[in-house]
Amino acid sequence: MKLMQKLLKILLFSLVSGTALANDCVILLHGLARISNSMSELERKLERSGYDVVNINYPSIRYEIGVLADDAVGRGISQCLMQTPKRIHFVTHSLGGILVRYYLQENELELLGRVVMLGPPNKGSEMVDGLLPVPGFGLLGPTGRVLGTEEESVLNELGPVEFELGVIAGSTSINPIGFLFIEGPHDSIVSVESTKVEGMNAHIVLPVTHTFMMRNDDVIDHAIQFLKTGQFIQE
């Protein structure tokens, strides 16, 4: 009887405090001209690994980066906080990583855990440089136009990262004109070199393409390992 009462007290304390039963929460942010469904495989596998997951959909081609960062990252944090997490992590694809950098440069997040960026154009995309003059490129909106490597790129306003970051770059190209604009190994859109950023903790290159890397099992396994340990899988 006394044991039962003790167990009930522990359970009630857990429910009231919201800490003993809390999980880490992971915010997923998709890339330019994509939707949250593109991160669905990541979402499922993260949930199976015990994380609470918030998969954010945002209008990536409609607004400028500052607006998108406040909206997408801000909503993700708000939704995670409703679940009283121990820590808040991010896994991002392409533009999603830039939004996290932009947001965290202007805002503090006390519960910030680790960040994994998949194919982030941290130094800009040479493909954007090459296609910017092409009619129709403007359909990618105000954000697409500033993701190049030129001096006016918004990326040059972002400093080194000051959070625990792991970057996964792709080295498989399915873009028949990629060699015209991008030097060195690349994922069809972003060069391996351009994914790097000062302050990152880990960087790996996998044989995947920019478009589908977020659905790749090896990429997902490495991402989960980094969230858990701060290191990618040692091979």
> Other CB atoms closer than 10 Å to residue 20's CB: what's the count?
11
Q: What is the mean pLDDT of each run of 10 residues along the chain (235 residues)?
A: 44 42 90 92 96 96 91 97 96 96 95 98 76 53 71 81 97 73 86 96 97 97 98 90
Please give the Cα distance from 144 to 189 (Å, whole number). 12
Give me the pLDDT at residue 184, please.
Answer: 87
Quickly count helices (H) and strands (E) in the chain.
9, 6
Altogether, the residues listed in the chain come to a count of 235
- Alpha-helix runs per DSSP H in 107-177: 126-131, 141-144
Place of tokens 């982030």: 120
Residue 130 is encoded by which pair of tokens? Answer: 């090459």
Q: Which of 187, 175, 184 is nearest to 212 (CA)?
A: 187
Give me the pLDDT at residue 82, please.
Answer: 95
Residue 225 is encoded by which pair of tokens? Answer: 């390992």
Q: Rounded to the nearest 5 degrees, what angle is found at the Cα of 39, between the Cα atoms of 54 and 172?
A: 145
Please give the Cα distance from 224 to 42 (Å, whole number). 9
Give me the pLDDT at residue 209, please.
Answer: 96
**Strand (E) or helix (H) holding 178:** helix 178-181
Entry pTM:
0.86
Please give the Cα distance from 208 to 172 (Å, whole number). 5
For 188, half-sphere exposure in the C-beta direction (CA atoms, 13 angstrom radius) is 13
Q: What is the dihedral of CA 194, 74, 144, 219, to 10 degrees?
A: 40
